[in-house]
Amino acid sequence: MAEQESQNNDRLTRGSKNLALWALIILMSVLAIQFLRGADSEFVEITWTQFEEQLDASNVFSVTVVGARGLEGEFESEAQIEGQAVTEFRTLAPFPADSEFSQRLREQGVTDVSAEEAQTGWGTILLGALPWILILVFWFWIFRSMQGGGNRAFQFGRSKAKLISPDTPKVTFQDVAGADEAKEELQEIIEFLKDPQKFARLGGRLPKGVLLVGPPGTGKTLLAKAVAGEAGRPFFQMSGSDFVEMFVGVGASRVRDLFEQGKTHAPCIIFIDEIDAVGRHRGAGLGGGHDEREQTLNALLVEMDGFESNEGVILLAATNRPDVLDPALLRPGRFDRQVVVDAPDVKGREAILRVHAKKLPLENDVELSVIARGTPGLSGADLANICNEAALLAARSNADKVSMDDFEKAKDKVMLGTERRSLVLTEKERELTAYHEAGHAVIGLRVEGLDPVHKVTIVPRGRALGLTASLPTEDRHSYTKKWLEGQLVMLFGGRVAEEMIFGEDEVTTGAGNDIERATQMARRMVTSFGMSEVIGLMAVGDSEQEVFLGREIGHRRQVSEHTAQQVDQEVKRLLDEAHSAAQVVLQQNTELLEAIAQALLERETIDQQEIELLSQGRQLPPPDVPTEPLLGEPQDGGVKAPARPTPRPEGGLMPPPHPATGD
């Protein structure tokens, strides 16, 4: 059907072009005939003065008055006018021919005087009508365009959806890993499209909508491409932003046209990426009111499940902001299924790495399972980036294959940031950074229940002057109060180390980001997780207003001033207790703090094995490769601790995709 419609449009376009071409040919032919007819005439154009001279000389034999002022005639004898022999003439009188002029002609001996009506030539008629012809052609072209002709310049209301053709390179479910449940849900829909009777015989109906929900980079769009490759049915693809235009009503018109195309090709799948651009909550006030978007959403709601049903059209959509979508859009009957595409677990990460590593020549020492265990919280896009960075590093060193060392460097680059060895630090700054990071590392080693310290470095990465990275031994989906309190202690380890070694007057701004994150975590513990005996189990957050009014507009407290004051006091209590606990731990492990700091000053980076040796009081073996000195210009910046878990919208905690490297 799509090919037939395209062929019809092509035929209409060619017909319009042929019609315009023939009209132009006819016009040019008529003008050419008139021109040639005038060129073949024997009459010579002369001026009125030249005519009067010949009339006064009694050299005019006959005169024919054409119309009101035109004159044509013959001379008695050949006249020389401007060096040209003229026998028949044509001129234009400055006044209408009347009885006085006729009397003058008779007085000068003109014996043959006649008159005839002026005849307008086709060329004159066409030239006079040409502007009107052009206007009519222009309006004809506009109407043809609006009615679906070949030119789409004025088709504002037509859908911008792209029909995925069979010739497009296909992505199948074999190219998707780490989302087994989502693949199973979508595979059922594909089977429904291929064999509806298999499900309809027991009263089942075709789902009208499937919403893919998940953080950025988890593979929602990739899953949609796989559905397009597996379905074997027409697949329309467009973005949510394609509906919203400057003119009110255009988006709604495009929604209607999109579903009209879908019904024409039913059964089919329509995929809308980033549907939150058009499906936001209606009547959201300052943050979400937009008449064009709301009209578009209304049209989408009606087309999905209104008075007339669109049988055979499945709407597949993706978003990473399900919390801002309108409830009417999410109800069963419109989006019957919500498929969660979350960050992969360790098995999923290994499967994703294997998919992307198929394209890479790998050394025998590459163990993708080890890389998967060392990348908790990373999405599929992050893992694909690690594989790509490893290939680039191998190519930069002119290697024939990608080694495990390349993968480790790529992992550190993605998770920790790019090394900035061009940034020079003074000896005092290097020493401060070393003790700061050593304080974080000691807390990570000596406080029970914390994640193992993976790497400590004073080489600037990203926007941080130093970094202490911790990696969990297994995927964690919920966190205990003891673990969160340990994170608070570790965040203050760097600041306490600076106070112990250099004194309170010499502390730096390096702990700024640590204090900020500790404050956020403590506030979430008090206001959202119910981990304060004073506040109890009452949630005092205002996340709903943050979504719809926007953080930049402001907050409005949903609690009393007394409760808000208690929240602030509890947050400060948690922070003060964490600071005191960090002081106790570091004072009890002064030798370990000194050992790690000196190792950092000597080697700049120490890994987990070297940290374990130092924690056991053993000496480090000599480094295989000496570290390069830091070069470049000095720059102020904070010394950052490892990234800590960030709150989930549901109220739980999950680790970030990679440790933060500064602000």
Q: In 3D, which of 474, 471, 512, 475 has the Cα closest to residue 494?
A: 512
Q: What is the Cα–Cα distance from 488 to 522, expressed in whole angstroms?
A: 8
437: annotated active-site residue: yes
Instruction: Confirm if 341 and 220 have CB atoms less than 8 A apart.
Output: yes
How far is residue 526 CA from its own chain's centroid? 37
Backbone angles phi, psi at 318, to 5 degrees: -135, 145
Residue whose tokens read 């419109």 = 334
Pairing, β 84-92 against β 44-45:
parallel
Instruction: Confirm if 313 and 271 have CB atoms less than 8 A apart.
Output: no
- DSSP states along 241-276: GGT--SSTTHHHHHHHHHHHHHHHT-SEEEEEESGG
- The token pair that represents 614 in the structure block: 């130092």
Crossing angle, helix 427-446 and helix 561-588, to 10 degrees? 100
Q: In 3D, which of 318, 275, 313, 272 has the Cα closest to residue 179?
A: 318
Q: In 3D, which of 366, 376, 380, 511 has the Cα closest to residue 433?
A: 511
SS (H, E, C) 429-445: HHHHHHHHHHHHHHHHH
Cα–Cα distance list, 257 to 263, 264, 483, 508 (Å): 10, 11, 54, 61
Backbone angles phi, psi at 513, to 5 degrees: -70, -35
- What is the chain's Cα-based Rg? 42
Helix (H, G, I), strand (E, B) or coil at 553: coil
Within 10 angstroms of residue 536's Cβ, the number of other Cβ atoms is 7
CA angle at 158 for the pair 156 and 160, rounded to the nearest 5°: 100
Residues in the chain: 663
Question: What residue ranges in 179-336 does DSSP mark as E strands?
Answer: 209-213, 235-239, 268-273, 313-319
Q: What is the Cα–Cα distance from 160 to 255, expressed in whole angstroms?
A: 10
Q: In sequence order, which residues have a C-beta less than 8 Å from that of residue 86 and are 6 or more positions away?
A: 44, 46, 75, 78, 79, 80
Instruction: Confirm if 453 and 470 have CB atoms less than 8 A apart.
Output: yes
Instruction: Confirm if 349 and 387 have CB atoms less than 8 A apart.
Output: no
Q: What is the Cα–Cα distance from 100 to 105, expressed in whole angstroms?
A: 9
Active-site hit among 274, 350, 437, 570: 437
- The token pair that represents 73 in the structure block: 């005639």
Within 10 angstroms of residue 550's Cβ, the number of other Cβ atoms is 14
The residues annotated with a catalytic role in the active site are 437
